[in-house]
Amino acid sequence: MRTYEAGDITLQRVREYVWEIPREGEMNVPARVLASESLLDEISDDKTLEQLKNTTHLPGIRKHALCMPDGHQGYGFPVGGVAGIDAENGCISPGAVGYDINCGVRLLRTNLAYSDIRGREEELVDALFDAIPSGLGGGGIFEGTRADIEAILEDGMEWALENGYAVPEDLAHCEDEGRRPEADADAVSQKAKDRGKVQVGSLGSGNHFLEVQRVTDVFLEDVAEEFGLEEDQIVVMIHCGSRGLGHQVCTDYLREIEQAHQGLLASLPDKELAAAPAGSQLAEEYYGAMCAAINFAWVNRQLIMHRTREVFEDVFDRSWEEMEMELLYDVAHNIAKKEVHEIDGEDQDLYVHRKGATRAFPAGRPELPPAYADVGQPVLIPGSMGSGSYVLRGGERSLEETFGSTAHGAGRLMSRTEAKNTFWGEDVQDELRDQQHVYVKAQSGATVAEEAPGVYKDVDEVVNVSDALGIGDKVARTYPVCNIKG
C-alpha cells in the first residue's frame, strides 16, 4: 500500500485522491483527506493533518473525519473539514463550525452577455463599490430596531420577503429556503445582536467579495440548461457571512462550553475543539443561536443582492426583471446541521459539521428545492480574483463518501501576513486590469494584497478532485470581470 509521510503522521492511499490516517490510540474513527498529491503537499504544510486527526477524538463521530481538497489550518478544526457526529449520543462543537457562521456564496444569473459589460467595467465596479457597504466595522444597507434584528434571526429570508427585499423565487432557490426553523433569537446575546444591528447588508472584509463574472466554459450542457447558464453569460457571485453577529455567537458559546463541560474538554487533544454533549442545555442553546446566525447571514446576502439589482438598473437603464437577474442558488459554509445519513446500513440523525465545506446533495435528496430535485443541488466554488470560479452539482457519491459535502473554494496557501509581505495591493490591481481585464476595487491596498491570486491553491485542481471522486460534478466555469472587496 502506498503511503505519504507528513512529519509524524502517515497517510495510506485508499484509492486515487483518497488518503487515510488509520485509527490508532484514542481515535474514534480514521481520518481521510481527499486530495491529489500536489494538494496533499500543500495541506501537509501546516497543522491541517494534526487538526484533522484531533477531530477524530470528538465523542460520537461516525465513519471518518474528512478534509476536502481545499483544506488548510483553522481554529481547532481544519477549514475544509467535515464531521458527521451522532446527534443523540455525540456532541456539537462551535470550533468545528467556525466563527463566521454561514459564511456562504450565492450566484445571481442575468441575461446580459459579456459584450454588454465590455468597456463599462470601471463604471460598474465604481457603482457597486459606492452602493454596497464593505470593510471592517459597522455600516449596512439596513439598520433597524431591536425587534427587526429579532425577526431577522427568527425568520431569515421570510423577513426579507415581507419587507420588500426579496421575491418568492429568491427563497425557492436558497438552501433551506433561507430559513432555519430551529433558530432561537433568545439564545443570541445582546452583544451579538448589537454587533449585527449595524451590519445587515454588508460584505465585511477579508476574503469576502462581490464579483461580476462571465461564464467561460460549460461542461454538462443539460445540467447547465437546468441551472440557466450558458457561455458568455454575465453572473454575479456574492461571498460573505454573518459578520460580527456570528463571530460573537461563536465566541460566547466557546467560553460557556469550555467552563460547563470541562470533563469533555479534558478528554480532547485540543481545547479549541470544545464541544457540548448532545442533548445538553448548552448544545440546544448553541444550535438555536447558530441557526439564528445562519438566518442572519442569508438576509445579509439577500440585501446585498437586492442592492446589486438596483445598481445594475441604474447602470444599464433597465429593470432587473428585464435583465432576468434571478438567484441561481445560495449555499452555506460553516454550519452544523441535523441531517439523516446512512451509517452501517441504518439511518441515523447526525450533526454534520461543515467548516469551510459545502453541502453537495445529489438528485432525489428531500432537502433540495423543487427546481433542482431531479438534477441535483448547485454547488458554488469561488476561486481567486485572477482565476475562475465553478458551478458544480451534488455528485452521486457524495452521500456515501462525504456526508453529502465537497470543497468550498480554492483554499489559502499563505497567511494574510505573509501575503502582505509578498504582494503590493496596487501592483496586483494594475496587473489584473492591464493583463487580465479584471477590475478590482477595495477599501485598502492591504486587502487586495491579502487576497492576491498567488495566495490561493489551484482552484482547477481542487474542483477536478471533487469531480473525479463523484462528490461534485463540474457544470460550468466562470471568470472575473470586476470585483469589490472590503
The answer to the question of whether 394 is labelled as a binding residue is no
The answer to the question of whether 205 is labelled as a binding residue is no
The answer to the question of whether 208 is labelled as a binding residue is yes
The answer to the question of whether 334 is labelled as a binding residue is yes
The rounded distance, in Å, linking the Cα atoms of 338 and 348 is 10
The answer to the question of whether 5 is labelled as a binding residue is no
The answer to the question of whether 211 is labelled as a binding residue is yes
Active-site option among 247, 353, 408, 437: 408
The answer to the question of whether 383 is labelled as a binding residue is yes
The answer to the question of whether 409 is labelled as a binding residue is yes
The answer to the question of whether 280 is labelled as a binding residue is no
The answer to the question of whether 288 is labelled as a binding residue is no
341 a catalytic residue:
no
The answer to the question of whether 296 is labelled as a binding residue is no
The answer to the question of whether 228 is labelled as a binding residue is no
The answer to the question of whether 207 is labelled as a binding residue is yes
Catalytic (active-site) positions: 408
Numbered residues of the known binding site = 100, 207-211, 239, 333-334, 382-385, 389, 408-411, 485
Numbered residues of the known binding site for GMP = 207-211, 333-334, 382-385, 389, 408-411, 485
Numbered residues of the known binding site for Mn(2+) = 100, 208, 239, 333
